[in-house]
């Protein structure tokens, strides 16, 4: 399953998930992943799955497609790669397959000695652990869930009743996909899902990714969680 974090000016707008063999990206509503912005071509790019590998191809777009700041025509995606399309960015999370670790091999690390300082910094940044801090957790305070507490160790944890949800809500009318919590070196972000109307953060509705802080209260359907960090 491929997961994509769609961001605008570094703010997460949505999470897109698909196991399709081909995913189209562009401004036109016929695309699998629609990005409604004039800097994005109607049919801007596509992603193709070949067994357990993913490839992204630019479709002769006006402004081009960039992977990790390098303009591409077609290239293989690696885990945590970021595509830039206009002012939007897409971060790709690959589950299993060849897109595993972003770490560098010993040979690559040795080669940094032969590179200019800027390139060294770029490679060293890629070698840093993706999660430098201890994981936060969600504690259930009210309502029904499959556990009393959840460790947020994954880069992306889904909240809902769906089979693939890491934070599993229970009850006949529990929403299937309320939200996601993403984890990166800067912290945790709460991202609205398909059933975002049943999501509240500290009593307020949210319509985009919002940074979480210790002791925040998240209500998903009828379940109340407390976000605890440290």
Give the DSSP per-residue string, 126-183. Answer: HHS-S--S--EEEEEEES-BS-SEEEE-SSEEEEESSTT-SEEB-STT--S--EEEEE
Confidence of residue 107 (pLDDT cuts 50, 70, 90): very low
Q: Strand 74-76 to strand 199-201: parallel, antiparallel, or no bridges (unpaired)?
A: unpaired
Q: Please calculate the CA angle 186-189-193 and round it to the nearest 5 degrees.
A: 155
pLDDT-above-90 percentage for the chain: 74
Q: Give the residue-averaged pLDDT of 160-165.
A: 91
Q: What is the CA radius of gyration of the chain?
A: 19
Flag the least confident range among 49-53, 54-58, 96-100, 215-219. Answer: 96-100
pLDDT tens per residue, range 108-152: 444 444 444 444 445 444 444 445 457 899 999 999 999 999 999
pLDDT for 43 equals 98
pLDDT-above-70 percentage for the chain: 83
Please answer whether residues 145 and 170 qualify as being in contact, where contact means their C-beta atoms are separated by less than 8 angstroms.
yes
Tokens of 160: 């809902």
Place of tokens 């500290």: 202
Q: φ, ψ for residue 114 (rounded to 5)?
A: -100, 0
Confidence of residue 230 (pLDDT cuts 50, 70, 90): confident
pLDDT tens per residue, range 8-55: 988 899 999 999 999 999 999 999 999 999 999 999 999 999 999 999
pLDDT tens per residue, range 185-194: 889 999 999 9
- Which residue segments constitute the domains of the chain, with CATH numbers given? 2-94 (2.60.200.20), 137-228 (2.60.200.20)
| Helix (H) or strand (E) segment spanning residue 22 | strand 22-26
User: Whole-model pTM?
Assistant: 0.73
Q: Does 214 score more than 80 pLDDT?
A: yes
Confidence of residue 95 (pLDDT cuts 50, 70, 90): low
What does pLDDT average to over the chain?
86
Q: φ, ψ for residue 72 (rounded to 5)?
A: -130, 160
| Helix (H) or strand (E) segment spanning residue 121 | helix 117-127
pLDDT for 1 equals 86
Please answer whether residues 107 and 127 qualify as being in contact, where contact means their C-beta atoms are separated by less than 8 angstroms.
no
Per DSSP, the residues of 167-230 read EEB-STT--S--EEEEEETTEEEEEE-TTGGGEEETTB--SS-EE--TT-EEEETTEEEEEE--
**Residue 80: CB atoms within 10 Å:** 19
């Amino acid at each position: 399953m491929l997961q994509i974090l769609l961001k605008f000016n570094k703010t997460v707008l949505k999470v897109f998930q698909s196991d399709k063999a081909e995913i189209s990206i562009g401004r036109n509503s016929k695309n699998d992943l629609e990005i409604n912005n004039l800097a994005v071509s109607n049919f801007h790019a596509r992603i193709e799955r070949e067994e357990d590998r993913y490839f992204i191809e630019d479709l002769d777009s006006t402004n081009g497609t960039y992977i990790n700041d390098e303009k591409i025509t077609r290239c293989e995606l690696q885990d945590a790669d970021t595509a830039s399309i206009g002012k939007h960015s897409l971060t790709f999370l690959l589950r299993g397959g060849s897109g595993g670790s972003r770490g560098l091999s010993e040979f690559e690390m040795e080669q940094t000695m032969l590179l200019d300082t800027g390139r060294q910094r770029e490679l060293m940044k890629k070698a840093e652990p993706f999660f430098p801090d201890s994981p936060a957790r969600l504690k259930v305070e009210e309502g029904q869930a499959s556990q009393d507490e959840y460790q947020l160790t994954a880069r992306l944890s889904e909240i809902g009743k769906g089979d693939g949800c890491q934070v599993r809500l229970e009850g006949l009318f529990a929403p299937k996909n309320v939200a996601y919590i993403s984890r990166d070196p800067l912290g945790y972000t709460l991202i609205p899902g398909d059933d975002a109307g049943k999501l509240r953060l500290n009593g307020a509705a949210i319509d985009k990714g919002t940074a979480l802080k210790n002791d925040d209260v998240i209500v998903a359907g009828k379940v109340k969680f407390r976000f605890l960090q440290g």
